[in-house]
A and B are shown apart, each in its own frame.
Chain A
Amino acid sequence: MLKKRASGSAWSWLWFALGAAYFIIPLYATVDFSLRAKRGELSLLAYANVLKDPRFGETFLFSAEMSLLTIVTGIILIVPTAYWIHIRLPKLRPVMEFITLLPFVVPAVVLVFGLIRIYSHPPFMLVSSPALLVAAYLVLALPYLYRSVDTGLRSIDIRSLTEAAQSLGATWPTIIIRVILPNLRASILSGAFVTFAIVMGEFTMASLLVWPAFGPYMDLLSSSKIYEPSALAVISFALTWGTTAAIQLLSRRIPGQAPMAGLK
């Protein structure tokens, strides 16, 4: 019996090592590649070049702005709705489940195709407005943002909070802004970080709607430069790593938080 355990463990180590190699080698190779801009020595030249390029700052800021707008719009739209469904309209729950599942059924490329079809002619000329991009990003982030607010609402006793606030004479907007929102801080923040990570790395929507965002910039750079794209990939990976670490820290405070899936 003991022997069997040991051999089982050897197999486990083997699979783990294979997996680790598959996952670590490309990361190592990217870092290594990004340091080779100067022939014959390791240097940070590629990083310096990236940071010097004004388009890096511009596209980065653009994407950061878009993610902020997406997060704010998302919170305004989702928090009152999720709250209302919890407290008054639990019957609508399946509808919400369906809506939050839909972004997985309709791939980004297909969604952007549909959006362009509708919003590129009157009465709704939105194609050249950043509002359409924010809306598209919000659809991408919707499942994560909604789920994280939903689990947050489940973990607090909103009924008692609402009744207490009402008995003190609070109106609905006051309840949502001053009672519910502060209690949802952790889950809203975690949803916001997911949204941030999604928007910063997003390529499909931004590129097909022709916006100078960070994702398309990374792709554009790869056609003209050799080492700089790797430096960008390292920066982008660090960004994802940082936000995921933040989410992990936060979700420890919210039990039952779902893991976020990818943005392919």
Chain B
Amino acid sequence: MPFLIFAFAFLILPTLNIIIGSFQDATGAFTLENISQLSQPIVLSAYLTSIELSLVTAVAGGLFGFLIAYAIVLGGLPRWLQSAVITFSGVASNFAGVPLAFAFISTLGRLGLVSVLLKSVFGIDIYQAGFSLYNFLGLSLTYIYFQIPLMILIITPALEGLRSEWREAAENLGATPLVYWQRVALPILLPNLLATMVLLFGNAFGAYATAYALTGGTINLVTILIGNQITGDVLNNPGLGNSLSLGMIVIMALSIGGYTLLGQRTSRWIK
């Protein structure tokens, strides 16, 4: 089948090539040299920054997204607002890469709307105060823009699946809303919440375009390092490129695998 040939040639073969290449030296002999190169300070710090960035934006974006989803599903907001938020989330989860970077430069860059407003109205110069859009904090704020909508899109069906009978049953047994959440709703939702956050983690971990467009490649992330390997800007070492990529694949596989496993736990209760 042509489709399987295509998938093999352009998806499976490159992946296998990276995995095998990670354990080969320039002559093709087996080596662990590439893997041990991952312990270089610059590489370790890239992995650490990537993981931190993904963790922070997954948790912060996930919680904020959950609160918004909760507000529109169970919070008593008008029905039309819910479908408006869902539609907008569909668009915003795709609003990434270069245009997203521009949007945040127009907002929180040195000449950005909010930066200028804070300076002229409140006399607060956020850049003087140490803020920068082009470092970890700025990048986190930008990433959250595509993390929240993804959370809303995935968690809304789960929230809608919470049956009102469960709440009524709990209330009849004397549960306060807090107890209902602690004992009933949260245990049901928790696997799903965690699963989605794990997915958000992977979503941020693999991101390249947004970080590159915003920082011009100056922030030390794994994706940026791999990109630099390709363009040959720094330490052009194919073996290291392979092991860097392998590290990403392993982390992404763990996160997607975790998402799938956790998702199965919730589906026992919520279809």
Chain B window 64-99, contacts with chain A (Cβ cutoff 8 Å), 1 for yes, 0 for no: 100110111001110001000101111111111111
**Chain A residues whose CB sits within 8 angstroms of the CB of B71 once the complex forms:** 11-13, 15-16
User: Does B29 make an interface contact (CB < 8 A)?
Assistant: no
- C-alpha spacing A14/B83, complex, angstroms: 18
For the complex, count residues of B whose C-beta is within 8 A of A: 85
- C-alpha spacing A164/B158, complex, angstroms: 40
Choice from B3, B77, B205 contacting A12 with Cβ under 8 Å: B77
Stretch at the interface among B32-40, B107-115, B262-270: B107-115
User: Does A104 make an interface contact (CB < 8 A)?
Assistant: yes
- A230 with B15: CB separation less than 8 A: no
Tell me which residues from 88 to 111 in chain A have a Cβ below 8 Å from any Cβ of chain B: 99, 101-111
Question: Which bucket holds chain A's interface residue count?
Answer: 35 or more
**Chain B residues whose CB sits within 8 angstroms of the CB of A77 once the complex forms:** 2-3, 6
Given contacts A33-B106, A77-B3, contact A111 B14 (CB under 8 A): yes
Which applies to chain A's interface (DSSP): helix, strand, loop or mixed?
A: helix
- A264 with B208: CB separation less than 8 A: yes
User: Does A191 make an interface contact (CB < 8 A)?
Assistant: no
Tell me which residues from 1 to 18 in chain A have a Cβ below 8 Å from any Cβ of chain B: 4-5, 8-9, 11-13, 15-16, 18
- B97 with A201: CB separation less than 8 A: yes
Q: Shortest distance in angstroms between A253's beta carbon and chain B's nearest beta carbon?
A: 16
User: Does A183 make an interface contact (CB < 8 A)?
Assistant: no
**Chain A residues whose CB sits within 8 angstroms of the CB of B145 once the complex forms:** 22-23, 26
- C-alpha spacing A59/B33, complex, angstroms: 42
Given contacts A15-B71, A29-B106, contact A113 B230 (CB under 8 A): yes
Give the nearest-CB partner of B205 in chain A. A107
**Chain B residues whose CB sits within 8 angstroms of the CB of A84 once the complex forms:** 1
User: Does B17 make an interface contact (CB < 8 A)?
Assistant: yes
Minimum-distance CB pairs A-B, first 8? A12-B75, A114-B14, A107-B206, A264-B207, A12-B71, A29-B113, A33-B106, A203-B209
Q: Which residues on A are within 8 Å of B, measured CB to CB?
A: 4-5, 8-9, 11-13, 15-16, 18-19, 22-23, 25-30, 32-34, 76-78, 80-81, 84, 99, 101-118, 135-136, 138-139, 142, 197, 201-204, 207-208, 215, 218-219, 222-223, 226, 229-230, 232-233, 236-237, 240-241, 244-245, 247-248, 259-264
